[in-house]
Structure 1
């Protein structure tokens, strides 16, 4: 035989033939000949191999079956094999589904910031529900592993996968910018939050949280810079950074040894001295503008009154009881400087509950005399309205995947509103200040021109 004419598989009888099922009790599974009796398969699909297996192992028992009886026996064995295969397939499907469900529940536990042990509680609830809703599926729910260690492992796997995806995405960046913010948590540990926004060669913009680095010792510019570089090196950046946004603190923007100066030098040494921009976070700038609207005469009284009610457990319980009697469903929140939106929430609740607060404070022998001052009540109402406007602006500036033009549009439109309010208040018109308008209507006294200066000062800050 010449080399050009090779023998084909079919010529070697290596294609399974239907007659072998009846003759040798074999069937084809995944291109392999499998014995219907013992479920073994032969290495090479040849009739000789099948016949040898049958003769040596099963001929004594099954040669007695001939004709119709043999066909029925073959069908019986085929049915048994299919049933066995379906059991294994179903078991594998259940196992895969249980593992997937375990990952999904672990992900929800992580997103909700719940302890790992919550998985066992969730499984207990599922088992109770399955006994009532679908008792035939009870075993499927029981197969879901949600022990504390399993949940911890699942969350670690998910975290590693997200980290891997982030590194792959960062490798595709042709340029990126970084934003950092350093703050202190409730355990007095400084935490450095690092965000990155990059663009690839298809102009697809990706914005991701990189890391939250705990800084247990000092928080000098050198410490922050070291933590920042370490986090970016971990995700594999190529130092094609074009900008850095900070909170504007001296340690961040110092001209000689600030974080910005160190970061710029590193980036420009890597990219050949290309342009590098630095920005003061626009949200932080907006918060600083809000602080220019001091009105300490209002905030001092509000904070002192709220602290008197909230800081003493007996006062707090009694005040909540008074609110329930009057069908109020919320109480007084605390205000803290680092939570910029909390001032508006505290002022709003204080204004809405002013009658109950006045009554309670008089019963406690600590009357708030300012409640009887027309001018102070107007100041309070004005502060409630203007802080709500400022909080709404702050919320507009928040969010992912925004570009500079959107921030600019929000600030510009707010400045136009300030110009409008300045003109209206100069004419004793409080159309956009409902609380102030309400107080002035009740008191039949309208002196709104003095609030015009407050708006003017706020406008200057935004300029």
Structure 2
């Protein structure tokens, strides 16, 4: 509201009983520049104020901005130098928010020409009060299942799927309304364009479903990554089915296929798009693939002892040979079982605690900023930072 940048710092910790706590550590108001150096100094100040030991820091999750991620002058690079100065062993792992990366993966479809046409059409209907009222009256006269069409904003990417789906379902009504207003609807009636709209609507719906799956408090990074891995396997299935024009998971495409011939429906083009999307997921989440600790947390009984870190190998053998603990794992599941690892296996407990500490996403930060945006009205903007 007053053009002051706010830096939100959250901390995720695990106690001796392996209970996870997520807490807002500090909110810093940055009145000048927001470079990597500025962010780093503010984070260091917060750590010092809270009297936190640097050797307990085992991971850093950011929103992926250059000021955060740069190895030389960004927050990540400076934090790693600071860890070395504090004589901390091991390198600090840094992660780009899983939810944000998933949203960025969707951009590789490169179908902006469709989105711009849909946005222009929706804006024409929604931006002017008269047009909007007339469109709603028109929908009532048509006895349409839907009474209105949704707005889309770039910031709220989940809205894109709803807008595309509604635009596809109301495509005939929208064309008639645009004609009645003297607007050209040639593009909206084109069969190939409508096929692309159907594909984008279905693909975006699947991406949105994954996005919602990744949201929420107290999420384990391993569970979030498993959801992403499952989505990559689904993409492979959809790619094969698209080539065969077998579309049970693409309802909008199914509707279009019933209206146009198979020669008009560009199945190979769409299969290539799904392949590109799968490759982008693999590229962006490659650093997670290299994490051996995830498998150890998910199912320690299936881990190959020889490939496990040397400090935990002896304890891992004892664990895998313990029938009582195996039965407990089978009934309780991985999340609850972690707390059942006996105190006689301190290295395994420490390893589990370190993995539990990792933030999978910046969901809490985004949620905080949403609350702040609602609270920081024009009437409250006169309050000082301390308030």
Quickly name the TM-score band, shorter chain normalised.
0.5 to 0.7
Deviation of residue 287 (structure 1)?
1.2
Is the contact made by 1:428 and 1:449 (CA closer than 8 Å) also made in structure 2?
Answer: no
1:160-199 aligned at under 5 Å gives the runs 188-199=3-14
Q: Distance in 2 between matches of 1:340 and 1:420?
A: 25
Work out the number of aligned pairs and report it. 278
Of the three residues 153, 171, 182, the one matched with 1:336 is 153
Asked if 1:426 is matched to 2:238, the reply is: no
Asked if 1:281 is matched to 2:100, the reply is: no
The equivalent residue for 1:319 is 135
The equivalent residue for 2:342 is none
Deviation of residue 462 (structure 1)?
1.0
Change in CA separation of 1:271 and 1:397 when aligned onto 2, cut-off 3 Å: farther
Change in CA separation of 1:332 and 1:288 when aligned onto 2, cut-off 3 Å: same
**Structure of greater relative contact order (alpha carbons < 8 Å, 6+ residues apart):** 2
Is the contact made by 1:429 and 1:448 (CA closer than 8 Å) also made in structure 2?
Answer: no
Q: Distance in 2 between matches of 1:349 and 1:211?
A: 41
Q: TM-score scaled to structure 2, two decimals?
A: 0.66
Unmatched segments (≥5 aa) in structure 2: 283-387
1:341-380 aligned at under 5 Å gives the runs 341-380=158-197
Change in CA separation of 1:211 and 1:338 when aligned onto 2, cut-off 3 Å: farther
Deviation of residue 322 (structure 1)?
2.7
Is the contact made by 1:397 and 1:410 (CA closer than 8 Å) also made in structure 2?
Answer: yes
Q: Distance in 2 between matches of 1:286 and 1:238?
A: 33
Is the contact made by 1:378 and 1:436 (CA closer than 8 Å) also made in structure 2?
Answer: yes
Of the three residues 222, 226, 232, the one matched with 2:41 is 226
Asked if 1:305 is matched to 2:121, the reply is: yes
Q: Distance in 2 between matches of 1:228 and 1:328?
A: 52
Deviation of residue 280 (structure 1)?
1.4
After superposition, the CA RMSD in angstroms is 2.2
Q: Distance in 2 between matches of 1:332 and 1:188?
A: 33
> Which is higher, the Rg of structure 1 or of structure 2?
1
Change in CA separation of 1:235 and 1:339 when aligned onto 2, cut-off 3 Å: farther
Asked if 1:215 is matched to 2:30, the reply is: yes
Q: Distance in 2 between matches of 1:195 and 1:337?
A: 26
The structure where strand makes up a greater share of residues is 1
Of the three residues 170, 184, 200, the one matched with 2:15 is 200
Q: Distance in 1 between matches of 2:29 and 2:249?
A: 44
Deviations 1:383-441 (A, max 9, x none): 00000001111111112222232122111111111111111111121121010111110
Q: Distance in 1 between matches of 2:64 and 2:186?
A: 40
Is the contact made by 2:239 and 2:274 (CA closer than 8 Å) also made in structure 1?
Answer: yes
Q: Distance in 2 between matches of 1:420 and 1:309?
A: 38
Deviation of residue 198 (structure 1)?
0.7
Q: TM-score scaled to structure 1, two decimals?
A: 0.56
The equivalent residue for 1:452 is 271
Change in CA separation of 1:348 and 1:191 when aligned onto 2, cut-off 3 Å: farther
Q: Distance in 2 between matches of 1:426 and 1:311?
A: 40
The equivalent residue for 2:88 is 272
Q: Distance in 2 between matches of 1:328 and 1:236?
A: 60
